[in-house]
Amino acid sequence: MAIIKLPECKVNQLKEICKSFNNDSGELINVLHKAQDVFGYLPAEVQEIVAKELNVSVAHVYGVVSFYSFFTMTPKGRYPISICMGTACYVRGAEKVLDEFRRELGVQVGESTPDGRHSLACLRCVGACGLAPVVMVGEKVYGRVAPEDVKGILAEYANL
Amino acid sequence: METVKFTIDKKTIEVEKGTTVLNAAKKAGIDIPSLCYFSLDGMKIENKPGGCRVCVVEVEGRRNLAPACATEVTDGMVVRTNSMRVLNARRTVLELILSDHPFDCLVCAKSGNCELQSLAHRMGVREIPYQGAQSTYRKDTSPSIIRDVDKCIMCRRCEMMCNDVQTVGALSAINRGFMAVVAPAFEMNLEKSPCTYCGQCVAVCPTGALTEVDHTRDVISALADPTKTVIVQTAPAVRAALGEEFGLEPGTLVTGKMVTALRELGFDYVFDTDFAADLTIMEEGTELLDRLSRYLNGDKSIKLPILTSCCPAWVNFFEHNFPELKDVPSTARSPQQMFGSIAKSYFAKKLGIDRKDLVVVSIMPCLAKKYECQRDEFKVDGNPDVDFSISTRELANLIKLANIDFNSLPDGDFDHPLGESTGAGVIFGTTGGVIEAAVRTAYELHTKKPLPKITFEELRGLEGLRSATIDFDGLKLNIGIAHGLGNARKLLEDVRDGKSQFHAIEIMACPGGCIGGGGQPLHHGDASILRARQKAIYQEDANKPIRKSHENPYIIKLYEEFLGKPLSEKSHHLLHTHYFDKSTQIIVE
C-alpha cells in the first residue's frame, strides 16, 4: 500500500486544475502542463493525484510524463536556466555555452544544483534567432552569449 | 450485410464491409504472418496497434505497403501478400526486430512456444545482418510473474490486456525510442504496483518477456525428499487443457491420465481441488443463505450482493481498487487454500504427521495462485497451507521431464478422502460455474426440496457480463456473472453506488474463467480453444454420478468428523479469511 503525503493546499490546487478540465482523461497532457506550471515539476505524488482525479492508471500518467521531454520529475531550480539548441543558436556555439554552464554549476542537463538555485535545460528556439545564441534564466533572455559570459550571468543570481 | 469484393493473390473474394485485409485473407485461405496483432474472437479482445509491420502487404495504387491488420478491405482493392517487395520488407522488419533481441533461445522459458521464434523460423532467417545495441533492463521478479523486458518487442498486447480488458492499469509503455519499455508506474517492480497477478499479460506475450515464476524445481526437490509426504491437488480447469500440451485436441478431458501421471511423478497422494470446491460451496452457499435471510428479515448490517471469492486475482483487484467494499465478498477462502488448510490439519492428523512434513502442491490454471499461497494469512507459524503452486504448463513440463509418455497412460482415480468430488466442483473451472454450483446447493438447503433440474443453462455462456433470475420456490434470486476484470469493475461500480440489483455475483478475473487462466497452455488468440475447454468442463460435470456439493459423501464425513457444520467456529478458523486495503492512500497534511 503506497502512502502519499502532500500539503492540503497543494492537493486542492491540483484538484482544481483537474476540475478546470472537467476531469476529462483526454485532457491529461493539458492537466500535466498546468500542474508543472504550478509545482515546477511532476513528482510521483502529483501524478498519483492526477491519475485518481482523471480516473486513469498511474502507469498511464507516468507513460505520458516519461514520453514527453517537456515534463520533468526533478524539481526545477528557483532560477531555471535554459539554453536554446535551435539551429541558429547551435551553429553559433550554443553547445560551448552549455558546456560552460555544466562546468560552472556541476550539474547535467535535467538536473538541479544542490542548493536548488538553478536547474539546467535545453530548449528548441525561443524565436529570438537574431540574438543567437540565446540563454534564458527564468523569464529573462540573454542574447549573443559567449562561454566567457557565463560566470557573469551566474553572478547576478549568486546572492538571490 | 454490406459486402465488398476484392482480389488477394489473384483470388477474388467477397467479405463483409469493414473486414481487415488480415482477416479477409484467412477467408481466402491465405495466412499472412503477424506479430503484434492479437484477438480473441467473440470476446471483444483485440490488439492492433499496427506497430510491428510484419503483416505488411502491397495494395495496388497505394504508394507504401499497408499493414494488413489495420487496413480495411475496399471494393475493387487488389492486394499482393507475397510479392518480392513485400517479402523483402517483411524480412527487413523482422531482422530489425531481432537486431536488439537477446540470442538466448536455447535457455529461454518461452522457447518452443515463442511467436517471434516461430516467425524467424517461418521466414527462414539464418543470420542477423544488423547488430543493434542490446537493452539491459533489470529483471523484475514478483511472486507470480517475471518481467524480462530485454525480450520485449513492444507489441503492446500486455498493455492492452492489463488496461483495456482487465482495467488493472499496472502496465504502460514508458519512455521513448530505444529506451521505451512496458513497465509499472515510475518503473517500480510489479510487486509494488496494482498488479493482480491475473497473468493475462503472460497469456498473450508473444515472447519470453513475461513468464511465470517456475516452481517445478521446488516440486522435484520435495518429491525427492524421503522425510516429506508430498500430496497434490489439481484444479478443475487443468484437466480440460493439459492434453493440449501433448498434442491432443483442445477440449480433450485427460483427468484419468493426469492422475496416473501425477502418481508416476511420485506424489504420495493424488487429490482433487474439486473436493475443496465442494467444500467452498458448503461454506459460501451457507453464507449466501445466511446473509440473504438476515437481509430479508430486515437486518440493516447485512450487505448484499454477496460476491464469490475463489479467484485470487479478483481478490487482489478489489483490495487494490475497491477497498471500501472489502466486507462484501464472501469470506470463504478459495478452493486451493481450503484444500491446503484441511490437508495440513485434518489429513495430516489422519496420517499422524506434523504439518511441516506434509508438502502440499497445487496444479493450477492460474498464476495468481502462486501469490495467494504465499499470503501470510494462509500460513501457520510460517508454514504455508499450500507449499507450491504450479501452472498447467509447468505440470506438462514436469511430465515431459520425467520421461512419461502421457498419451499412452492408463486412466487412474483420485485418492481418498480429499479426491472425491461432484460435478458442482468441476464446473468451478469455467465462468458461471461457481454460481451454478452454489445455486444447486443453496436451492436444496433453502427449499428443502430436490432440484427439478440440475443444470442452469441461463448461467452458462461466454458473454462477459451475464445475469439471470433463479426462482428459489417463490424467492426470486438475481444473479450476476462477470469474467474479465473490466467487466467485474462495471458490476463493482454499481455495487459501490448502491445501484446493484443482484443478490449474488460471481466474478472470475480471466476471460472465460479458469479455462482461460494465465497458467493454461497458450491459446495464441484462438477463442475456439476456450470454447472447447468450457464444453469439456460441462461434459465432466455431466459424467459425474453426484453433481451437488452437499451430497459429496466425503464432504459429509469431513463435517461429521472434524468441522461440525458450515460456518462453525472451526470452519471460520480454517476455511474463511479477511481482506486488506491495498489501495494508494493520499494523506493530506
Q: For the segment B171-217, what is each residue's pLDDT rounded down to a tens digit?
A: 999 998 889 999 999 999 999 999 999 999 999 999 999 999 999 99
Residues A145 and A88 in one domain: yes
Residues B229 and B178 in one domain: no
pLDDT of residue A116: 87
pLDDT of residue B304: 87
Cβ–Cβ < 8 Å for A89, A51: no
Contact A11 B586 (CB under 8 A): yes
Domain containing residue A43: 8-67
For residue B224, being part of any structural domain is answered with: yes
Single out the residue in B188, B212, B236 at which a domain terminates: B212
> Which CATH number belongs to the domain containing residue B164 in this structure?
3.30.70.20
Question: Stretch B547-567: mean pLDDT, rounded?
Answer: 96
pLDDT of residue A39: 86
Q: For the segment A33-44, what is each residue's pLDDT rounded down to a tens digit?
A: 999 988 888 999
From chain B, pick out residues whose CB is under 8 angstroms from the CB of A5.
587, 589
pLDDT of residue A75: 84
Residues A124 and A152 in one domain: yes
- Is the pLDDT score of B35 beyond 70? yes
- Is the pLDDT score of A1 beyond 60? no
Count CA atoms within 13 Å of residue B257 on its CB side: 22
Residues B166 and B47 in one domain: no
Question: What 3-state class would DSSP assign to B315?
Answer: helix
Instruction: Name A104's Cβ contacts closer than 8 Å, sequence gap at least 6.
Output: A150, A151, A154
For residue B580, being part of any structural domain is answered with: no
Residues B243 and B359 in one domain: yes
- Is the pLDDT score of A123 beyond 90? no
Per-residue confidence band for B582, with pLDDT thresholds at 50, 70 and 90: very high
Residues A95 and A34 in one domain: no
Q: Which of A50, A58, A72 to mutate to test the interface with B (most CBs of B within 10 A)?
A: A58
Per-residue confidence band for A4, with pLDDT thresholds at 50, 70 and 90: confident
For residue A95, being part of any structural domain is answered with: yes
- Is the pLDDT score of A10 beyond 90? no
For residue A16, being part of any structural domain is answered with: yes
Residues B421 and B495 in one domain: yes
Residues B204 and B342 in one domain: no
Cβ–Cβ < 8 Å for B132, B230: no
The interface residues of chain A toward chain B in range 6-65, judged by CB-CB distance below 8 A, are 6-8, 11, 44, 47-49, 52, 56-63
Residues B186 and B234 in one domain: no
Residues B82 and B112 in one domain: no
Query: What is the overall mean pLDDT for chain A?
Result: 91
For residue A19, being part of any structural domain is answered with: yes
Single out the residue in B70, B97, B124 at which a domain terminates: B97
Residue B248 per-residue DSSP state? P
Q: How near does any CA of chain A get to the CA of B83, in Å?
A: 37
Residues A44 and A90 in one domain: no
Please, what sign has the CA dihedral across residues B439, B440, B441, B444?
Answer: positive
- Is the pLDDT score of B412 beyond 90? yes
For residue A113, being part of any structural domain is answered with: yes
Question: Stretch B387-401: mean pLDDT, rounded?
Answer: 98
The number of domains in chain B is 3
For residue A76, being part of any structural domain is answered with: no
Residues B391 and B263 in one domain: yes
> Which CATH number belongs to the domain containing residue B480 in this structure?
3.40.50.1780
E strand spans, B458-568: 465-472, 475-483, 504-508
Residues B201 and B246 in one domain: no
Instruction: Name B366's Cβ contacts closer than 8 Å, sequence gap at least 6.
Output: B199, B235, B312, B313, B389, B391, B510, B514, B517, B518, B519
For residue A2, being part of any structural domain is answered with: no
Residues A100 and A45 in one domain: no
Residues B142 and B238 in one domain: no
Dihedral pair phi/psi, residue B374, rounded to 5°: -95, 0
Per-residue confidence band for A8, with pLDDT thresholds at 50, 70 and 90: confident
For residue A3, being part of any structural domain is answered with: no
Per-residue confidence band for B33, with pLDDT thresholds at 50, 70 and 90: very high
Contact A67 B174 (CB under 8 A): yes
Residues B336 and B426 in one domain: yes
- With a threshold of 0.80, does the pTM exceed it? yes
Residues B223 and B193 in one domain: no
Question: Stretch B222-243: mean pLDDT, rounded?
Answer: 97
- DSSP string for A115-140: TSS-BEEEES--S-GGG-S-EEETTE
CA-to-CA distance for B443 and B451, rounded, in angstroms? 7
- DSSP string for B31-43: ----SS-EEETTT
The number of domains in chain A is 2
Contact A48 B586 (CB under 8 A): yes
CA B403 to centroid of chain Cα atoms: 28
Q: Beta B504-508 vs B306-307: how paired, if at all? A: parallel
Residues A58 and A104 in one domain: no
pLDDT of residue A2: 64
Residues A127 and A88 in one domain: yes
Domain containing residue B89: 3-97
Residues A19 and A54 in one domain: yes
For residue B584, being part of any structural domain is answered with: no
Query: CB of A2 within 8 Å of any CB in chain B?
Result: yes
- The count of other CB atoms within 10 Å of the CB of residue B17 is 12
Which residue in the block uniquely carries the three cell numbers 535457455?
B107
- Is the pLDDT score of B587 beyond 60? yes
Question: Stretch B72-98: mean pLDDT, rounded?
Answer: 96
Q: How near does any CA of chain B get to the CA of A56, in Å?
A: 8
